[in-house]
């Protein structure tokens, strides 16, 4: 590494006769001269930029590795249940049916109606599923708000312990940010579109991505909204500060029941030519 320290006697451009040899006035220090600034600042700037680049690369690599580790651990926990819930969610998405006047996503239902349909289908399939809404009051740091998500209570094989699973249908979209750096966008793209898993894994993911969001805004020199901070994002999926919305749900519709239990077409044998009619008299019962 280049030593950026400066000594006057090492600089061949400095005269032993003093600053007057360069036309400086009395009292004007050599540190204000163009010779000193150009020579020292260039070396210091190059050194600082190199150091900042190395730190930046190390930071984003660490965040990427940490997120991958969390996602791998998340994927290995409750994989069978997650796959079943994912199939039911995909089935619910296939139906373009909306009970409200909300804007539609991809020509189908709005997310509010989609969440209700997913809960209905999960319940029909025998899962203990509830639609929950978290709510927090405004403070000096945060604005107030609400957020809906789905909770499924699963049981272990021994049925001795109940494990909560959270379902967020717009998980990746929650972290998308305009004018973010490329590394942050790549980090967000690693996230699943739909989150189905334990609350502790979700909170770990939120911590990593929100820290990366702060780093991205610092690099871009833009303001980071308080709704991007970890403490605010975690409020969205806080079971302790949420309530059940199942009382607002209607019973499963015929469409939803048909999606949950599709009718399979069975080929019946052609027996018309083998029917024989008995010649016995018909007895009428009074």
* Annotated domain spans of the chain: 51-248
pLDDT surpassing 60 at residue 219: yes
Burial 158-182 (b: 16+ CB within 10 A, else e): eeeeeeebbbbbbbbebbebeebbe
Of these ranges, 148-162, 189-203, 226-240, the one predicted with the greatest mean pLDDT is 189-203
Mean pLDDT rounded to a whole number for the chain: 76
pLDDT in tens, 74-97: 999 889 999 999 999 999 888 766
SS3 of residue 28 by DSSP: coil
Confidence of residue 274 (pLDDT cuts 50, 70, 90): very low
d(CA 198, CA 167): 9
pLDDT surpassing 80 at residue 172: yes
What is the value of pTM for the model shown?
A: 0.68
The reported pLDDT for the residue numbered 108 is 56
The reported pLDDT for the residue numbered 36 is 43
């Amino acid at each position: 590494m280049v030593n950026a320290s400066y000594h006057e006697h090492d600089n061949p451009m400095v005269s032993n006769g003093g600053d007057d040899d360069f036309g400086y006035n009395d009292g004007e220090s050599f540190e204000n001269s163009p010779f000193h600034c150009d020579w020292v600042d260039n070396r210091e700037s190059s050194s600082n930029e190199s150091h900042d680049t190395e730190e930046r690369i190390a930071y984003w690599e660490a965040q990427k590795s940490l997120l991958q580790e969390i996602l791998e651990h998340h994927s290995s926990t409750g994989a069978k249940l997650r796959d079943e819930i994912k199939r039911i969610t995909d089935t619910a998405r296939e139906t373009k049916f909306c009970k409200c006047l909300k804007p539609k996503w991809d020509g189908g239902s709005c997310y509010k109606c989609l969440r209700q349909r997913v809960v209905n289908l999960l319940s029909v399939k025998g899962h203990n599923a509830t639609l929950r809404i978290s709510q927090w009051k405004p403070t000096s740091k945060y604005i107030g708000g609400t957020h809906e998500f789905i909770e499924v209570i699963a049981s272990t094989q021994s049925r001795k312990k109940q494990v909560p699973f959270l379902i967020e249908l717009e998980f990746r979209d929650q972290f998308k940010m305009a004018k973010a750096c490329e590394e942050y966008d790549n980090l967000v793209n690693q996230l699943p579109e739909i989150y189905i898993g334990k609350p502790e894994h979700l909170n770990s993911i939120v911590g990593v991505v929100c820290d990366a969001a702060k780093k991205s805004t610092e690099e871009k020199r833009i303001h980071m909204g308080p709704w991007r901070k970890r403490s605010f994002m975690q409020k969205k999926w806080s079971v302790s500060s949420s309530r059940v919305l199942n009382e607002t749900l209607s019973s499963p519709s015929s469409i939803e029941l048909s999606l949950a239990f599709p009718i399979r077409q069975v080929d019946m044998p052609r027996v018309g030519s083998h029917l024989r009619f008995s010649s016995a008299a018909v007895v009428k019962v009074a």
